[in-house]
A and B are shown apart, each in its own frame.
Chain A
Amino acid sequence: MESGAVSLYERAYSHPSFIQVSLQKKEVLGGCCVLSTCRQHNWPVAMCTINSLLEAEPMLMGVVYQDLVKALDLQPPPTASLTDMLESYCYGYKLAPGEVPDVFAETPEQLVQRSAALVELAADVWLVTGRHPLPILMACVYVAWQSLKPKDRMKHSLQKFCQIARLPKDACGACKETPLRRVRELRDVLCKLGRELPWMRGGAVEPKTVATLVEDILKHQKSLLLKAMRSYEEEVEQEVREAAESRQDDVLSSTESLLAGQLSGRDQGPVTPAQDVPPARQPKSGESMLEASGGSNKTTEESAPPAGEEHWGRRHLFLPPCARNVKRRREESPGPHVTGEEEISDSEIESYIRSAEEIRSYVEFQKKMTEN
């Protein structure tokens, strides 16, 4: 593998794309050649790992790697799966018996086994796809370590765990917050599954104490997933039914009040519209109260989002977080329908041109700015 990486580097170094690049880029190029060779030999290594060894910018490494693949027309195998990387990643944690006090110690094999199960669960519930691998690996190893001796280890934070395991400071890349977020997400999933354990009897499971249930959850992972999804589907269907029923009730009650108003109006002579019409809308002259009520009903209905418009993810318990936490963007209108050959009005064009006075003021302002 070493000779493979060296020969790849020699080819890349003499390629026109890399001849006149900076020294930093050439160093990164060496790392990229190592990465490419490792991938070709199915040696699981993350780009972040090589990056941290080189102390280079992740963006630069990405750019150089893509340039390398393009320039030499390489066909690198896809990035290694998380489970492949896990074993070597776990061996980076100094948690073997003898290296740390017994209460913190864990054999690498046990840690790998438990972490692998958590990684598989995380992949199943969409916490892995499209994301950096190292933070999720760190989160899984941390939760796995806690779950192996929960009573003694639950109280230790992720930061403390990294100190105990003597991890380098840049172990998970630039952003320190990401592994914490992954831990929260993983615990959230474990809580959802833990709730379905028969002996929990539907009670709430706290993220801080879910480590005690991890072993049971992983043992019955598949059936708990099914149960959790079924319960969620039933809840959603129930909510939809209730929402539909309450909308129907609203329509009925407003129709009844309208009819009552009409009847009392006929008996008692003209009545101020405000007394009988829902405050949302006053009937205009010539418009019947029925029409006004229908309008206000529409307003009521429109304020609750119709079922068709709710996000499709609402019906799924487990979704990629980016699909679940959708920011509602302002709908941009596609613009007016044009042919491209319309007449262009002079007034519109002139609105984009400065007047002589504006030009004078602008020039004076620029002079003052340059003088200062």
Chain B
Amino acid sequence: MEQNNSLPPFPQGIASPQGAMTPGLPLFSPMMPYGTGLTPQPVQNSLSLLEEQQRQQQQQQQQVSQQQGGIVGASGQTPQLYHSQAVTTTTALPGNTPLSSTLLSPMTPVPATPESSGIVPQLQNIVSTVNLGCKLDLKTIALRARNAEYNPKRFAAVIMRIREPRTTALIFSSGKMVCTGAKSEEQSRLAARKYARVVQKLGFPAKFLDFKIQNMVGSCDVKFPIRLEGLVLAHQQFSSYEPELFPGLIYRMIKPRIVLLIFVSGKVVLTGAKVRGEIYEAFENIYPILRGFRKAT
């Protein structure tokens, strides 16, 4: 088991009185000085700001521990990123001795080389658009096509479906079409071509112009639970977490421009990509952060 359950992660080394506060209080202020406005950079190229800060703190605390006689602290722990950084802001707490703050120092060394997560997000949905290049009579299409539904009072487009690839298309009278439900870019293109062929067979001079992937959605499972309350405090600029409205945390990554829905169960949904590489890149960016908020009970 990767999670270390031998000691509770926090508060480590401090007797927790009844009714002790959990992190989430203003005591534990957000640590990440993301004043640059950039999202965590991919760790492949260089140490992220996060890791740089961790390294600096480690160095500082090693100096402190040497002064105090080399106190090692709770070894074998994997203190959480949020937690370790929180300590530096809470040394003024009553009862907090320098010893106990050292005990809470980051013990897991920052890896010298970045590790890939080993998890590949699966593409779940591709949304694409194409211009059929001619005006369409939606009533005729709805009448003559088996796989079409049209209710102009509800929605001003024909909804058409095909079996392979299993997709749905919205066909508008302007000749523009939206194709959804494909699991890959190639499937989306093939499906859009099939819809265009159906419209052609119905007697319209349909073309296949300006096919474009508009959105890609991927999902994966990091296989550990995530402390969303800690994540939203640490990454306030990018995160929105309203459990009364939605159970997941909405993380708006800037580079790449992807929105991630992060759930306590460890499931992650990534959306907003135009190419699949953006999904993979976004996940590789977020994975080390999520590992920092992985907490064994």
Contact = CB atoms under 8 A, between A and B. Distances in A.
Nearest to A218: B18
B198 A353 contact: yes
Contacts of A46: 244
Contact of B190 (A77, A123, A340): A340
A149 B11 CA distance: 29
Interface in A332-365: 334-342, 344, 348-354, 358-359, 362-363
Given A334-B183, A353-B146, A48 B21 contact: no
B88 to A, nearest CB: 20
Contacts of A81: 21-22, 24-25, 229
A126 B194 contact: no
Interface stretch (A162-170, A278-286, A316-324): A316-324
A362 B5 contact: no
A24 B144 CA distance: 44
B52 interface: no
Given A233-B5, A318-B297, A130 B242 contact: no
B73 interface: no
Contacts of B55: none
Contact of B228 (A130, A319, A363): A130
A132 B144 contact: no
Interface string A223-236: 00110011001000
Given A112-B19, A120-B20, A48 B184 contact: no
A105 interface: no
Contact of A79 (B147, B188, B197, B244): B244
A4 interface: no
Contacts of B166: 335
B211 to A, nearest CB: 9
A312 interface: yes
Contact of B143 (A112, A320, A359): A359
B278 interface: no
Q: Which of A78, A341, A359 has the most CB of B within 10 A?
A: A78
A78 B236 contact: yes
A83 B28 CA distance: 14
A221 B16 CA distance: 10
B79 to A, nearest CB: 16
Contacts, number: 185
A241 interface: no
A88 interface: no
A316 B3 contact: yes
B244 A83 contact: no
A264 B15 CA distance: 72
B93 interface: no
Given A113-B18, A359-B143, A339 B6 contact: no
A326 B267 CA distance: 12
A363 B197 CA distance: 24
Contact of A322 (B194, B228, B232, B264): B264
Given A78-B236, A132-B244, A319-B225, A126 B5 contact: no
Contacts of A323: 225, 264-266
B143 A78 contact: no
B7 A130 contact: no
B83 interface: no
Given A120-B22, A340-B185, A353-B146, A225 B225 contact: no
B205 interface: no
Nearest to B28: A81
Nearest to A86: B19
A354 B233 CA distance: 58
A213 B166 CA distance: 56
A124 interface: yes
A225 B297 contact: yes
Interface string B146-163: 110000000000000010
Q: Which of B147, B183, B297 has the most CB of A within 10 A?
A: B297
Contacts of B182: 335
Q: Which of B5, B6, B224 has the most CB of A within 10 A?
A: B5
Interface of A: 42, 46-48, 58, 62, 65-66, 75, 77-79, 81-84, 112-114, 116-117, 119-120, 123-126, 129-133, 218-219, 221-222, 225-226, 229-230, 233, 312, 315-320, 322-323, 326, 334-342, 344, 348-354, 358-359, 362-363
27 contacts: A62-B242, A65-B242, A77-B236, A81-B22, A84-B25, A116-B18, A116-B19, A120-B16, A126-B225, A126-B264, A129-B225, A130-B247, A130-B248, A133-B244, A222-B8, A222-B16, A225-B297, A226-B5, A226-B6, A226-B7, A318-B297, A320-B264, A322-B264, A341-B190, A344-B194, A348-B164, A349-B201
Given A132-B243, A229-B297, 6 more contacts: A123-B22, A130-B263, A221-B16, A316-B296, A352-B198, A353-B146
Nearest 6 pairs between A and B by C-beta?
A81-B24, A340-B189, A116-B19, A323-B265, A340-B186, A130-B247
